[in-house]
Each structure stands twice: as C-alpha cells, then as structure tokens.
Homo-oligomer: A and B are copies of this chain.
Amino acid sequence: MKTTFKKELIGREGVVLLDTIRRLNRRNAVDRLMKLLNKTHPADIAWVFRHLTPDERSHVFNIIAQTGIVGEFLSELDQAIMLELVGNLTPKFIAAVIKEMASDDAADLLEALPGEVAGEIRKYMGKADRDEVEELMQYHPETAGGLMSPDFMALDGELSVADAIEKVQQRSEEMEMAFYLYITNGEEGQLSGVLSLRQLLTNPPYRQLKNIMNPNVIAVTTDTDQEETAHIVSQYNILAVPVVDASYRLVGIVTVDDIIDVIREEATEDFLQMAGAGKDREILLKSTLSNAITRAPWLFASWIGGIMAAVIISLFEAELQKVLALASFIPIVIGMGGNIGTQSSTIVVRGIATGRINMNALAQVIFKEMRVGLLLGTFYGLILGVFAFFTYNDPLELGLVVGFSVLFAMALAATVGTLVPLVLKRMDVDAAVATGPFVTTSIDIIGVTAYFSIAKLFLEI
C-alpha cells in the first residue's frame, strides 16, 4: 500500500514531522533532511515553519532553496515568514524561484516585498514572465482580478471536438486544475460558454464546441470583490469561476482552492475584529510588542467607555450613599446586557456574512431581537429581583430596582447589538470591524445609566 492516509495532520502527524525536522537540523544531517523535505508536501513544510525558531527556519530554508519545491513552498507560507526568509536571498535568486511559481503566486510575493526589492527582482525576470506578473499586479489583491490565475484553457467555439482534444494534449503540464474548458468567440476572445473535459470525451469528434458548450456560464469581472466571488463559487458549487474584463474578454480564472482560502481568511478576520483584536490573521506570529500595539486601540474604546461609566456613577453618589448595596449589582446589570448584546451582534454579523439577512427587510430582524431581549430580560430580571429581595432586603425596593434594570439593560442591549452592525453595513462599513468594541462599550454606558436612573426613581419615592 503506497496510499497516504492523512489523519489529523495538524495534531500528531504534524508534530512528528516538526520534531523530526528539528532533530535532523540540530544534527546538521543535511542529506537526510533534504530527502525528507523532498518527499513532504510543501503545505506541510509550511505548517512546520510556523513552529520553528527564526534560526531554524533560516537553516532549513537554505536546504529547501536547493530543491525544486522552493517555489510551491514559498506560496504556501504565511506572509510574515515568507518575507523573513526572502530577505536573505539575492534578487537574482528570487527571480529564478519566481520563474517556477504560478504567476498569481509570484504576483502575490512581489506585492508583499518592499517596492525597491521587487523592482530589483523584476530586472532579472524574462520579459514574458514579467509582463504576466505585472498584468496581475495591477488588480487590487482583494478582487477577483487579484485572486485569478491566467493559466486556463480557452478554445474558440468554431473548433471541433477532435481539434479541442488535440489542443488539450499539446498544452504543457502547467495547469494542474484544468477541468473546465472555456469557449470564446471572435478575435477578442470574449467568453461565450463552458465545457467540461468529460463532455469533450463524450461527444462525437466532428461536433463544434459552440454546439455542445453550456452557454449559461457564470462569470465575474476583475473588480468583483473577493468575498462576493467566494459567495458565487460556493452558492453554485462550481470549481472555478472565469474572470472577464470590461469588454467581456476572458482574462483568468479563480479556482476553488483560492476560494477556500478566502472563506477561511474572511472568517478569521471577522473573528478577530469582533473581539477587537485587529484583523491580522498572522497575529500569533507577531512579537509581544506589535501584538499589543495591534490590540491597544480597541481596548482604548473600552477604556473611554469605562471612564464615562465612572463619571455617570459618580453623578449618583447620593443614591449610592443611601443604598450601598447598589454597587454590588453593577457587574450583573452590565454583564447581562453585555452578554445578550454580544449574542445579538454576533448573530447579525454572521447573518450578514453568510447572506442569511435580507438587507431590505431589516425591521423583521430588529423586532425579533427586541422581543427576544424583552423575553430573556423579563426572565433574568425576575429571578434577580427575587434573589435581591430575599438576600438584601434593605431597602425593600432593591429587588424591584435590580430586576427592572436587568430587564431594561437586556432589552436595550439586544436592540443596540442588532442595530449597530446593520447600520454599519448600510453605511458600507464592514460590520465586524467596529461591532465588538462599539457594542460592549455603549452597552456599559447604557447599562449603568439605566440602572442608576431606575434606582433614583424607585428610591426617592
């Protein structure tokens, strides 16, 4: 059995590989290391590199640089690590490596490098390669143009099946993902249909491609946002989506493996943004200082909110003086508000990201969340009121005060938690960016204001 059964790579198998590479490197067993690296999938080596020290990385990379997998390996790496490694190479050597890479990966690498280094490298590249890469670099990295690969198979609709098969056989091995043939018409190469390799095989050799192709091809334009492109590929279960320019000329394809990366990356960014931890998905690779700097601004929002809460509470010093027990319930009032608000905003942010919310019928979503807030607020307010009444029975009104405050804070928090991301989205701001810190901060402020106002009302009567 030569079959490779992959099982929990990220767990046991990955760790074994990591330890082995580490041990061989320590012993400086270059030959055995090279043999091992050559038979390991570049994606697995890239995973290992995340967990090596910079010294180990530089060492092991010197060996990889002598193998044929260096190009593929570089395109699998996290950007921070790629930049670290490439920094030690000469522009000439990088140019040679880039020649071996898929041109979309090469464009990504050049984009990540400092401008002058990229310029140096380009001097060493052949004209054809350089043109192809520069063509790709003109698109924004987060659009279909920035994602696409120019290695696709396009044939004129006038060709016969037999001609097409011959063309497929002649093409070099470049395109590993050739499962669709795109059919174009005219000299400009405008996209007119699509055909699978299998359909090519099952049709008689004399038939013209334009008569057997599927003319309902789903396409995107070079400036389609990557998130939208991902939606389309996953919505219609396709393996690649063709990309056309403004004159409908086919210029590239975005394949499903890149789409998976986009989906994962967008989810990670949303996670981090909702927690107010920036949006850099490589944050675990950062130094303590730059990690702290990334996270500091969002904490500042919450700091300002806390100061405002402190100022508000001190306005109610008289009430607090009268009933010291009010202080005890501050955490639960703002905590319950904060938690239901986070629930609401998370449901809404994710609902927007996955297309489950119809942005033209928002009233429904908002009223539903308000009802949920009222329902849960009534329940938790009631049991808190009863608890407070039986444990802190001086004054008797305390139960009412905390009960109503929780009800009020939760109902309001659910509403605010729903509204903030919807409003941000309407204003065309990424709903995840500001939702997290903004929602919790405003709920803290709303919570204490409501709490002490209700206390004042009840205790003064």
Contacts and interface: CB of A to CB of B under 8 A. Distances in A.
Interface of A: 1-11, 14-15, 18, 41, 43-44, 47, 50-51, 165, 168-169, 177-179, 190-193, 196-198, 201-202, 215-221, 224, 228, 231-239, 244, 248, 256-257, 259-261, 263-264, 267-268, 270-272, 274-277, 281, 283-284, 288-289, 291-292, 295-296, 298-299, 302-303, 305-307, 309-311, 313-314, 317, 320-321, 324-336, 338-340, 342-343, 345-347, 349-351, 354-361, 365, 368, 371-372, 375-376, 379-380, 383-384, 387, 392, 436-437, 440-441, 444, 447-448
Given A15-B359, A256-B260, A288-B372, 9 more contacts: A9-B232, A168-B201, A177-B239, A268-B354, A298-B343, A303-B380, A305-B335, A310-B328, A326-B327
- Tallying the copies of this chain within the complex gives 2
Given A303-B336, A313-B328, A289 B375 contact: yes
Contact of A309 (B192, B193, B307, B332): B332
A314 to B, nearest CB: 5
A387 B375 CA distance: 39
A276 B320 contact: no
Contact of A335 (B47, B218, B302, B325): B302
A272 B346 contact: yes
A269 to B, nearest CB: 10
B347 A272 contact: yes
- A14, A288, A336, A387: which has the most chain B beta carbons within 10 Å? A288
Nearest to A16: B360
A140 to B, nearest CB: 16
Nearest to A355: B10
A372 B291 contact: yes
Given A15-B358, A228-B8, A275-B343, A336 B237 contact: no
B1 A248 contact: yes
A233 B18 CA distance: 21
When A and B form their complex, which 3 residue pairs have the shortest distance between CB atoms, in order from nearest?
A306-B332, A275-B346, A10-B355
Nearest to A50: B356
A447 B302 CA distance: 15
A403 to B, nearest CB: 12
